[in-house]
């Protein structure tokens, strides 16, 4: 470790399960090293405590005359206010609770006016790539080689093609690079377009101000913000969300219904049909307020230093190849996607978990076009992968391993990963692993690890299916 920067430690916000020990295939136990924050974060202790405190008072929301119903309604609407404040939304911005970022993007895609023309970069997460296909007019711009090129490519497009909506990410979930959102938003507005921001990765890592960025819509997920209780938000200008019939139709979205006519109610209820996820909303509201009080600038600065430390430690291992779109000097969060020569990404992830108690993500991270670019996969190779998948073979699906940091991360976690990879490269795995052709994943063979004695049914699912947003 000679010559490395001094190992920083992120300022700690208490997390549920931070000291959990997990079994290894060797029969030992070790503290779980969570390096998979970009997929889903653990719950803040403050969030779990708030949910447990609220549970005895939980009831239906809106229109309930009972004390618990009124209290639950107040808690639900309080969460909406907390999320509005966390993102520094404009006074007239609407906050709609949804399931996650994917749900938010699909809601907006269903709400845009007929004939809307959309543009997105091919480097987007699928949540901000696929929903626009239902709009009917979408164009994908090539993955840019720098933040400046992103602005230039978008301007070139806007100069020559009518565009109504620009869809961009705040931070890449594959490379961790921070996108120039304010510049892209100003550019979109200059050409008469609106901009929707996928803030799934941005919100947990950097300060986000809708007012400062000027974005028209923002989508985020509670499960990325230390509130894994199944809720997300779409925040933005109300006109598109209030037009026509709502995305989801049912109780709560109406003022009056006959068999001949429906009078849809006003926002936000108009877009929140059915019984809402009150506990999830409360959890996200508490997470937003806890993070706001702690200081997102503080989180960002600490994580940048720890991310640099992670890149230094992995970069010192000659067998490691790290992937990025933009120059090394580009601003990025604590996220590194990489491969190790001689090891399939799934096999490496399995070894790290089974032998070292380290949790990482592997695969294509729901950003297949970007990963094909980073991995230099040719069109012919991509066709071979598609042919295999059509007959149920997943063994040749390309991918990589990703470490991602959060408020519970430490230099010890980075050291554990780097030391484990160095050992794996030098001596190989200490256990046997078998490839499941149906999933493309390597699994310990045999796997002697046992599950905790939960009071609910477990049905083991195979890993590697992507990640939610």
Which of these ranges, 11-15, 57-61, 152-156, 320-324, has the smallest mean pLDDT?
A: 11-15
Helix ranges, 316-432 (H): 345-356, 368-374, 379-390, 411-427
Mean pLDDT of the chain: 94
pLDDT for position 461: 55
Using the predicted structure, report yes or no on whether residue 465 has a pLDDT greater than 60. no
Torsion angle in degrees (nearest 10) through CA of 172, 402, 380, 443: -150
Pairing of strands 358-359, 33-34: parallel
Mean pLDDT of 273-285: 96
pLDDT for position 241: 97
Task: Kindly state the DSSP code that residue 43 receives in the 8-state scheme.
Answer: P
The 10s digit of each residue's pLDDT in 145-192 is 999 999 999 999 999 999 999 999 999 999 999 999 999 999 999 999
pLDDT for position 1: 34
Q: What residues pair up with 195 in beta bridges, in sequence order?
A: 166
* Beta carbons of 416 and 47 less than 8 angstroms apart: no
Instruction: Enumerate domains of the chain plus CATH numbers.
Output: 21-43+296-444 (3.90.1150.10), 46-294 (3.40.640.10)
pLDDT for position 463: 52
Radius of gyration of the chain (CA): 23
The 10s digit of each residue's pLDDT in 386-425 is 998 898 888 788 999 999 999 999 999 999 999 999 999 9
pLDDT for position 419: 98
Mean pLDDT of 334-356: 98
Cis amide linkage into residue 446, ω under 30° from 0: yes
The 10s digit of each residue's pLDDT in 352-366 is 999 999 999 999 999
- What distance in Å separates the CA atoms of residue 280 and residue 13, rounded to the nearest whole number? 20
pLDDT for position 33: 98
The 10s digit of each residue's pLDDT in 71-118 is 999 999 999 999 999 999 999 999 999 999 999 999 999 999 999 999
Q: Measured between alpha carbons, how far apart are the two ends of the chain, in Å? A: 36
The 10s digit of each residue's pLDDT in 12-39 is 589 999 999 999 999 999 999 999 999 9
Q: What residues pair up with 465 in beta bridges, in sequence order?
A: none
Using the predicted structure, report yes or no on whether residue 229 has a pLDDT greater than 60. yes
Catalytic residues: 366
Using the predicted structure, report yes or no on whether residue 448 has a pLDDT greater than 90. yes
């Amino acid at each position: 470790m000679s010559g490395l920067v001094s190992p920083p430690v992120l300022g700690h916000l208490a997390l549920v399960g931070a000291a959990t020990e997990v079994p290894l295939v060797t029969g030992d136990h070790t503290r779980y090293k969570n390096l998979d924050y970009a997929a889903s974060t653990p719950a803040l202790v403050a969030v779990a405590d708030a949910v447990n405190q609220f549970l005895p008072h939980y009831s239906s929301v809106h229109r309930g005359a009972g004390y618990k119903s009124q209290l639950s309604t107040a808690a639900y609407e309080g969460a909406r206010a907390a999320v509005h404040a966390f993102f520094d939304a404009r006074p007239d911005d609407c906050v709609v609770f949804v399931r996650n970022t994917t749900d938010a993007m699909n809601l907006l895609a269903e709400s845009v006016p007929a004939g809307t023309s959309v543009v997105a970069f091919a480097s987007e997460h699928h949540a901000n790539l696929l929903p626009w296909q239902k709009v009917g007019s979408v164009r994908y711009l090539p993955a840019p080689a720098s933040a400046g090129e992103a602005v230039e490519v978008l301007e070139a497009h806007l100069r020559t093609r009518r565009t109504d909506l620009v869809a961009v990410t705040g931070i890449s979930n594959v490379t961790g690079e921070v996108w120039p959102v304010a510049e892209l938003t100003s550019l979109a507005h200059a050409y008469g377009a609106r901009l929707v921001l996928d803030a799934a990765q941005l919100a947990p890592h950097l300060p986000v101000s809708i007012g400062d960025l000027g974005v028209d819509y923002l989508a985020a997920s509670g499960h990325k913000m230390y509130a894994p209780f199944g809720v997300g938000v779409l925040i933005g200008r109300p006109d598109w969300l209030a037009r026509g019939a709502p995305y989801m139709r049912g109780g709560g979205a109406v003022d009056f219904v006959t068999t001949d006519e429906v009078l849809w109610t006003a926002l936000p209820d108009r877009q929140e049909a059915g019984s809402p996820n009150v506990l999830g909303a409360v959890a996200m509201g508490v997470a937003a307020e806890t993070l706001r009080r702690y200081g997102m600038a503080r989180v960002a600065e600490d994580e940048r230093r720890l991310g640099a430390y992670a890149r230094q430690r992995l970069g010192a291992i000659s067998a490691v190849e790290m992937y990025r779109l933009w120059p090394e000097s580009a601003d990025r969060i604590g996220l590194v996607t990489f491969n190790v020569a001689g090891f399939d990404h799934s096999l490496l992830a399995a070894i790290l978990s089974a032998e070292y108690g380290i949790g990482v993500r592997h695969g294509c991270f729901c950003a297949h076009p970007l990963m094909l670019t980073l991995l230099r996969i040719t069109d012919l190779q991509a066709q071979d992968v598609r042919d295999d998948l059509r007959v149920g073979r997943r063994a040749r699906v390309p991918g990589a391993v990703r470490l991602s940091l959060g408020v519970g991360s430490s230099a010890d976690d980075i050291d554990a990963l780097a030391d484990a990879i160095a050992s794996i490269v030098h001596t190989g795995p200490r256990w046997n692993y078998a490839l499941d052709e149906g999933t493309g994943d390597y699994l310990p063979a045999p796997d002697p690890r046992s599950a905790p004695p939960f009071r609910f049914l477990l049905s083991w699912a195979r890993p590697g299916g992507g990640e939610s947003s």
